[in-house]
Amino acid sequence: MYKMRQSIFNIIKTRFDLSIDQAHEDSITSSLKKSVDFVGANLWTLIFAIFIASIGLNVNSTAVIIGAMLISPLMGPIMGVGLGLGIYDVDLVKKGLRNLLVATFIGIVTSTLYFIITPLHTAQSELLARTTPSIWDVFIAFFGGLAGMVGASRKEKGNVIPGVAIATALMPPLCTAGFGLATGNLAYFFGAIYLYSINSVFICYGTIIIVRFLKFERRHFTDKIYENKISRYIYIILIITILPSIYLGYRIVDKSIFENNAQKFVNSNFHLKKTQVVNQKNIYGGDTNKIELLLIGAEMPQSTIDSIVAKMPAHGLKHTLLDVKQGLDAKQEIDFAQIKASILEDVFKKDSSNRFNTVHEGLGDNLPDIGGELKALFPAMKSYTATRTIMHSLDSLQHKDSMTMVVIDTKRFLTLTEREKLNAWLKTRLQADSIRLIVEQE
Distance (Å, rounded) from C-alpha 287 to C-alpha 320?
A: 9
Q: How confident is the model at residue 339 (pLDDT cuts 50, 70, 90)?
A: low
DSSP 97-143: HHHHHHHHHHHHHHHHHHHHH-S-----HHHHTTSS--HHHHHHHHH
Mean pLDDT computed over every residue of the chain: 81
Is residue 296 within 8 Å of residue 276, measured between CB atoms?
A: yes
pTM over 0.75: no
pLDDT score recorded for residue 355: 44
Q: How confident is the model at residue 397 (pLDDT cuts 50, 70, 90)?
A: low
**Phi/psi-derived region of residue 152, left when phi > 0, alpha when psi is between -120 and 50, beta in every other case:** alpha
Percent of the chain with pLDDT over 90: 16
CB-based burial label for 54 (10 Å; 0-12, 13-18, 19+): buried
Q: State mean pLDDT over 402-427.
A: 81
Which of residues 23 and 327 earns the better pLDDT score?
A: 23
pLDDT score recorded for residue 361: 42
Q: How confident is the model at residue 109 (pLDDT cuts 50, 70, 90)?
A: very high
Domains and CATH numbers, the chain: 20-220 (1.20.1080), 370-441 (3.30.300)
Distance (Å, rounded) from C-alpha 27 to C-alpha 31?
A: 6
Q: SS3 for 384?
A: strand
Q: State mean pLDDT over 230-251.
A: 79
Task: Please determine, for residue 142, whether its predicted confidence score (pLDDT) is greater than 50.
Answer: yes
Task: Express each pLDDT in 64-85 by its tens digit.
Answer: 888 888 888 888 899 998 898 8
The DSSP element (H or E) to which 40 belongs, if any, is: none
Q: Tell me which residue of 117, 88, 362 sits closest to 229, measured CA to CA.
A: 88
- Which of 136-150, 359-373, 401-415 is predicted least confidently? 359-373
pLDDT score recorded for residue 69: 87
Is residue 73 within 8 Å of residue 162, measured between CB atoms?
A: no
Long-range CB pairs of 340-347 (<8 Å, 24+ gap) are: 342/278
Task: Express each pLDDT in 306-331 by its tens digit.
Answer: 899 999 999 988 889 998 888 655 55
